Amino acid sequence: MSKPMTKTQLVAALADEMGSDKKSASAALDAVCNIITREVSGGGAVALPGVGKIQCRARPERMVRNPATGEQFKKAADKVVKMTIAKALKDSVNS
């Protein structure tokens, strides 16, 4: 498996795709990330066409086990961020 794309590489690829400079591509990427963060932390969801849907889900209180000691304890309810991958992306990866 190859290494994940870094932010610098992503900004360079985005600038090339947009036909723009890296500074404006970086600003665009930061703006999109800020919008996604604000929307998901507010309880909403963001759909990225062709990529997937990012949303916050509530997890109920549950019993968990410490793998080092085997001790079981109750973990409080919390929220987690989940991403559902779009069928188009799944199909492009598997073809």
Residues 32-46: b if buried by 16+ CB within 10 A, e if exposed: eeeebeeebeeeeeb
Please report the pLDDT score of residue 2 as a whole number: 84
**Residue-level pLDDT, tens digit, the chain, 95 residues:** 689 999 999 999 999 999 999 999 999 999 999 999 999 999 999 999 999 999 999 999 999 999 999 999 999 999 999 999 999 999 999 98
What is the chain's percent helix, strand, coil content, to nearest 5? 40, 30, 30
C-alpha 63, offset from chain centre: 27
- The count of other CB atoms within 10 Å of the CB of residue 60 is 8
Helix axes 22-41, 7-18, angle to 10 degrees: 110
Q: What is the pLDDT of residue 1?
A: 66
The ranges of the chain annotated as CATH 4.10.520.10 are: 45-95
The whole model's pTM is what? 0.78
Give the pLDDT of residue 58.
92
* Residue 25 CB-density burial (10 A; 0-12 exposed, 13-18 middle, 19+ buried): buried
pLDDT recorded at residue 48? 95
Q: In the prediction, which pLDDT does 61 show? A: 96
Tell which CATH classification among 4.10.520.10, 3.30.450.20, 3.40.50.170, 3.40.50.1260 matches the domain 45-95: 4.10.520.10
**Helices in the chain by DSSP H: which ranges?**
7-18, 22-41, 87-94
